[in-house]
Amino acid sequence: MKTEDLVSLLSTGADAVDLRLTSRRWLLALAGGALIAFLLTAGLLKLNPALWHEASKPMFWVRESYCAVLGVFGFITVVRLARPGSRLGLAPMGIPVAVIAMSVLAVVTLVAASQNRARMILGDTAGVCPFLIALVAAPLLIALLWVMRSLAPTRLRWAGAASGFAAGSIGALVYTLHCPELAAPFLAIWYLLGMLIPTAIGAWFGPRLLRW
């Protein structure tokens, strides 16, 4: 076919494009993924019975904000990576900044503690925490990759990894409804690991799933 024929084929009867569709898809993916993540947490893992009691502790809110901030920066990065030619800006840099802040808090906490340091690091659930976060994050990762596929990422591995990280941190936020751990060293290690599992999975799937 001649190129000019293709141009006329494409332009003939071309209808209007709803530019808000993309943001609606992202919101749907977030809402749907988070809902399933919540159902997994509440149904399979059970909500933490001491949740209301713990909500009065400052560390509870440090943990919630940590996950939420990472989730926001991760999600902004995802949205930008899905559009060809858009600049990433400073949002991706927010992720290492937040991680470093939590690591500093962890070290300070450990240094200040006179005893029970191992317990601050391992808590009661260190062995399962990263895997449970990855499990809760799975529906979010699937939803984000699903939307990403309908868009046009040009850096596929990064797009996959960012989707994984956003899913991991939002998944971790949902997981806090079950998780009894509040010590900064625990969060700095095991939560981060939990977020990095879907990140690695996303990075692996990116070039395979997102090509267009």
Partner 1 sequence: MLQSLAGDAAAYRIFLDELTTHLRSYLRRRLGGLPDEVEDLLQELLLAVHNKRHTYDPKLPLTAWVQAIARYKLVDLLRRRSRGDVLTDPLDEDDQVFAATANDAAEARYDVAKLLRGLPDRQRLPILYVKIEGASVTDTAVRTGMSESAVKVGIHRGLKALAERIRSIG
Nearer to partner 1, 58 or 85 (CB): 85
Nearer residue to partner 1 within complex by CB, 1 or 111: 1
Q: Which is nearer to partner 1, 4 or 111 (CB)?
A: 4
Q: Is the dihedral of CA 199, 200, 204, 207 positive or negative?
A: positive
- The interface with partner 1 within residues 26-55 (CB under 8 A) comprises none
Stretch that binds partner 1, among 39-47, 76-84, 89-97, 98-106 (CB under 8 A): 76-84
Stretch touching partner 1 by CB under 8 A, among 33-41, 77-85, 122-130, 193-201: 77-85
Contact 41, 141 (CB under 8 A): no
Quick one: 1 or 50, whose CB is closer to partner 1? 1
Cβ of residue 10: shortest distance to partner 1, in angstroms?
5
Is the separation of the CB atoms in 195 and 165 below 8 Å? yes
Structure-token pair, residue 162: 């960012």
Which span (2-10, 103-111, 139-147, 176-184) binds partner 1, by CB under 8 A? 2-10
- The residue from 16, 50, 111, 112 that contacts partner 1 (CB under 8 A) is 16
- 41, 136 Cβ separation under 8 angstroms: yes
CA angle 155/157/161 to nearest 5° reads 115
CB 158, min distance to partner 1, A: 13
Inter-residue contact 156 to 78 (CB < 8 Å): no
The packing angle between helices 91-112 and 58-81, to 10°, is 160
Distance CA 151, CA 159 (A): 11
| Distances 38 to 85, 137, 141, 191 between C-alpha atoms, Å | 34, 10, 14, 17
Q: Which residue lies nearer to partner 1 by CB, 2 or 43?
A: 2
Look at the block and give the residue holding tokens 């019975």.
49
Q: Quick one: which of 105, 151, 168, 209 contacts partner 1 (CB under 8 A)?
A: 151
Positions in 78-117 near partner 1 (CB under 8 A): 82-86
The verdict on 22 binding partner 1 (CB under 8 A) reads yes
In the complex, least distance from residue 208 CB atom to partner 1, rounded to whole angstroms: 14
Q: What is the DSSP letter of 43?
A: I
- Binding positions for partner 1, rule: CB under 8 A: 1-19, 21-22, 82-86, 151-152, 154, 211-212
